Structure 1
Amino acid sequence: MKNTLLLTTLLLFTYSCNNIQEKNTVTTTVNPVDIWGENPWPDIRKKRINTLLPEALKAAAVDCWLVVCRENNNDPMAEHIGGENAGGTAVFMFYNDSDGFHSLVFSPSGESTALDELDIHDKVISVERGTSAIDTAIAFIKTKDFKNIAVNISEENALADGLSHTQYQELETKLGELSNLLVPSTEVVYEWLSIKLPEEVEIMRKAAQITADWQIEAYTQVIPGQTTDADVAKFLKEKMKIYGVTDGWSPDQNPNVNSGPDRGHSHATNKVIMPGDVIQIDFGIKVHNRWVTDIQRFAYVLKPGETVAPEDITHYWNSSKAGNRAALAAMKPGVKGVDVDRAQRVLMEQAGSEYVMWSTGHPVGYVAHDIGPNLGGSQASHIRPASNKILKEGMTFAFDGFHAWKLDDGQIKTISVEEMAVVTDEGAEYLISPQEDLILISSKK
């Protein structure tokens, strides 16, 4: 397993005071380019369009994918296809024919030159003022023999549901009898975005290592009886600011630091961390404003006189870890998401875990809960469609091993060993070395 950065190379800043609350705010920042390099998205995007999108169209059994972009209320897919700077209405078309794969844009003349210079698409056709890009695109469609045309309408996938009602009406009216060619782009977007290029995986690997290392560093700052969950979260927010990264999901709930009973997706509170607590940090960062991580690290606060975690906590930890390892072992091309979930649920039952409502895992990449197979559903009354999707090489996941138990007051506490992995041609591999042991925090500081 490859670790791209060692913890010792990351800890560029130390905090010498005893309590996170008392530490001075660090104003020094790091040049993000020194850490992450220049943003590779332009090159990666072009490669994704030319190598992955043709196969996605084939997998979805779609001849052509048409996306309408515009200013102020743009399509969610705009940044993935090069339409993020659209002002006037522009039409982006991607299609396979007997000559191969093509990417064609009908762009307003005021923007077409700059778009063409980006060299993303095979051809950018300038549409003069007073002329409709949609009309021009439809005239082109009438010269082709497409059996279907996918547009961004979807009941299942918000990222594939960007075509407005009025845009759809215009397409339908102007296509006339050809409007029966229009189909939802759900499967095209799914097949395309669910697969990550190797260079994208490497970016996520580096980001995952930093995400985990910062959590481990945050635990070294905890003073039982003084430090709050919110203090730990604030420490990680400062690290993000220093290193020029943003939140992997909603800023109000990232990181989720919880030393008490389960709170689900939540913000960190002012609960004081005490001896005997199991602490969860659920944390993700976004690098290059594009790729995100989602990793959890767990710690136990030793009670006075303890040098190791007690037997019950050790059992809960080992049970959770075993579930995570079983899920990884079940990941391989051709396996359904629900089968990965089932692999660790069997161990949960054997270990005496309380019921956990969460899925074992989810795709992660461009957003924390990305497009791809859901690793869940084996205990549900019905299996949602995403859990019946099969895993493919290049898919990336964040996934948990669970063990839940009742606290003395009857509330539930869950350890959810969350790691990140990529599906390979033969199975799956962790992006970074997984957490093997509970981090132990002494009550004496």
Structure 2
Amino acid sequence: MNTIHRILIVVLILFTSCIDTKPQEVIINPQSFWGENPWQDIRKERINSLLPQALKVAEVDCWLVICRENNNDPIADHIGGENAGGTAAFLFFNDDNGFHSMVFSPSGEATALDDLNIHDEVVSVERGTSAVEMATNFIKEKNFATIAVNSSDSNAMADGLSFTQRTDLENLLMDYEGTLVSSTQLIYEWLSIKLPEEVEILRKAAQLTADWQIEAYKQVIPGQSTDADIAKFLKQKMAEYAVTDGWAPDQNPNVNSGPDRGHSHATDKIIMPGDVIQIDFGIKVYDQWVSDIQRFAYVLKDDETKAPDNIQYYWESGKAGNRAVLAAMKPGVKGVDVDRAQRVLMEAAKSEYVMWSTGHPVGYVAHDVGPNLGGSQASHVRPASEKQLKEGMTFAFDGFHSWKLEDGSLKTISVEEMAIVTKNAAEYLIEPQEELILIPSN
């Protein structure tokens, strides 16, 4: 080997030793990661493919929604009325020629609404003319027998009609033989079902929610980290990916390494060896769809290499309850009966009483429209728990095991996953948590 070769080898060794071998931080570009918001197309598809059947099931001839500026109807975003300034009236109906959507919109907004290409017809309403009156004249012309309006005592999404709007509407239809009915059932039938495209979005959101929780647990330094520290880490992940909170920001995520606190904010409690940690976390993606996932961890004590037998038993009991719930979920089964599937296991496993329902619909909000999975241990069953599951419904649901701590307070493992009801059963949106996450104490 000549001198030049030796020099080159030395230079190469020096060069490679200077290379930073640390893993490079991945910078996320939210715009490219998420792509274009699909809501406009999905909303139109939901109106045209799901709403006609919802009208039929609810036995409604026509659905009238009134939208306005500043204090809008909560359903506005689902029908294209989110930008209403002046009062606009939206009509949806079936007749002998099929399904139709029609809007009476103030002239200053009608062009932009028509450009969205959501509705069959957008009628421009000149200043000084009432859009609602024009809509009621059309209702009389079509001779609709039942007109659904957004007044409900059980569903906030179906309760957007104000008292004065209702009074005005009743006066305009005073001599008309048609009947105003609540849109509660109609909106239930429509919103509780999710399109396959929406399920895929929820699947992506659920996976991120779970992955970030696993990442958050890796940040825990027992004796130093607080519950609030872990919550802050997850907030940073949300900001990095440009997503928002799945529910009230102050309580999302709920990180709790102490006794049960229910729906709560993360506190400054220091995470210690022997703690069971709960993270209850949800994100909203595309400003429309929401996830709700929980992940659990145990902080090992100095002399431990695995969770103590009692903690492992609690974990396995909660997981078994969750799996029993999934097995019970199928079209035609009532929510109360899904709840009962795990309560039997909880009793056999000697769990303490858990007041929470087993599960709830999830989609546009964390507690969405649809059957409640609860009530089997209650003195009375609420109507939502008597509803039957249908294909296309999405749920978040828990597997419970609760026990008493030394001070008499309760601690509950609630193995929460998300699932979609299929034609004959139900399936998880993502891989469920199988093992309790173990955090070393040093």
Conservation of the 8 A alpha-carbon contact between 1:354 and 1:405: yes
After the TM superposition, which segments of 4 or more aligned residues of structure 1 sit over 3 Å from their partners?
11-14
Cα drift, residue 31 of structure 1: 2.6
1:289 pairs with 2:267: no
Report what 2:116 is aligned to. 118
Q: Which amino acid aligns with 1:72?
A: N
Aligned positions of 1:38-437 closer than 5 A: 38-178=36-176, 181-437=179-435
Q: Partner of 1:429: helix, strand, or coil?
A: strand
Distance 1:371 1:275, change over 3 A: same
Q: Deviation at 1:59?
A: 1.0
Residue 20 of structure 1: aligned partner: none
How has the CA–CA distance of structure 1 residues 13 and 414 changed in structure 2, closer, same or farther, with 3 Å as cutoff? Answer: farther
| Other-structure match for 1:24 | none
Alpha-carbon deviation of 1:13?
A: 4.0
**Matching residue's letter, 1:38:** E
Between 140-149 and 64-73, the greater mean CA deviation after superposition: 140-149
Q: Secondary structure at the match of 1:126?
A: strand
Contact 2:145/2:178 (<8 A) preserved: no
**1:33 Cα offset (Å):** 2.2
The question of whether the paired residues in 2 share the 8 Å contact of 1:171 and 1:179 is answered with no
Paired AA for residue 61 in structure 1: E
Read off the aligned partner of 1:185 and give its amino acid letter. S
Kindly provide the amino acid, as one letter, of the partner of residue 384 in structure 1: R
1:438 is matched by which residue type in structure 2? L
Structure 2 CA distance, aligned partners of 1:297 and 1:317? 11
**Counterparts in 2 of 1:244 and 1:12: CA distance versus 1, 3 Å:** farther
Return the TM-score normalized by structure 1.
Answer: 0.93
Measure the CA separation in 2 of the matches of 1:33 and 1:100: 39
Conservation of the 8 A alpha-carbon contact between 1:173 and 1:179: no
Aligned residue for 1:234, secondary structure, equals helix
Larger CA Rg, structure 1 vs 2: 2
How far residue 400 of structure 1 moved from its aligned partner, in angstroms, is 0.1
Listed one character per residue, the Cα deviations across residues 369-424 of structure 1 (whole Å, up to 9, x for unaligned) are 00000000000000000000000010000000000000011000000000000000
2:340·2:376 contact (CA, 8 Å) conserved in 1? yes
What is the root-mean-square deviation of aligned Cα atoms in Å?
1.1
Residue identity opposite 2:55 in structure 1: L
Aligned residue number for residue 15 of structure 2? none
Ranges in structure 1 where 5+ consecutive residues have no aligned partner:
1-10, 15-27
User: What amino acid maps onto 2:374 in structure 1?
Assistant: G
Give distance in 1, aligned partners of 2:306 and 2:24.
Answer: 30
CA distance in 1, matches of 2:298, 2:177: 61
SS in 1 for 2:122: strand
SS of structure 2 residue aligned to 1:379: coil
| SS at 1:124 equivalent | strand
Q: In structure 2, how many angstroms separate the alpha carbons of the residues matched to 1:386 and 1:282?
A: 24
Give deviations 1:13-69, integer Å, cap 9, x for gaps: 48xxxxxxxxxxxxx6x3322222110000000000000000111111111100000
Deviation at 1:12, TM superposition (A): 7.6
Number of equivalences:
420
Instruction: Say whether the 8 Å CA contact 1:398–1:419 is kept in structure 2.
Output: yes
Whether contact under 8 Å (2:144, 2:178) holds in the other structure is no
Residue 144 of structure 1, CA deviation: 1.0
CA distance in structure 2 between the aligned counterparts of 1:178 and 1:358, rounded to whole angstroms: 46
User: In 1, distance between residues paired with 2:433 and 2:313?
Assistant: 15
Residues 97-139 of structure 1: per-residue CA shift (max 9 Å, x gap): 1111000000111111111111000011111111110111111
Equivalent in the alignment of 2:13: none
SS at match of 1:222: coil
Supply the AA of the counterpart residue of 1:403.
Answer: H
Deviation string 1:347-383 (CA, Å, 9 cap, x unpaired) is 0000000000000000000000000000000000000
1:8 equivalent in structure 2: none
- Judged with a 3 Å threshold, the aligned counterparts in structure 2 of structure 1 residues 12 and 416 are, in CA distance, closer, same or farther, namely farther
Verify the 8 A CA contact 1:280 1:296 in the aligned structure 2. Answer: yes
**CA–CA separation in structure 2 for the residues paired with 1:74 and 1:128:** 21
Larger RCO, structures 1/2 (Cα 8 Å, 6+ apart): 1
TM-score, normalising length: structure 2 = 0.94
| d(CA) in 2 for partners of 1:268, 1:42 | 36
- Identity over aligned pairs, percent: 76
- SS class of match (2:176): helix
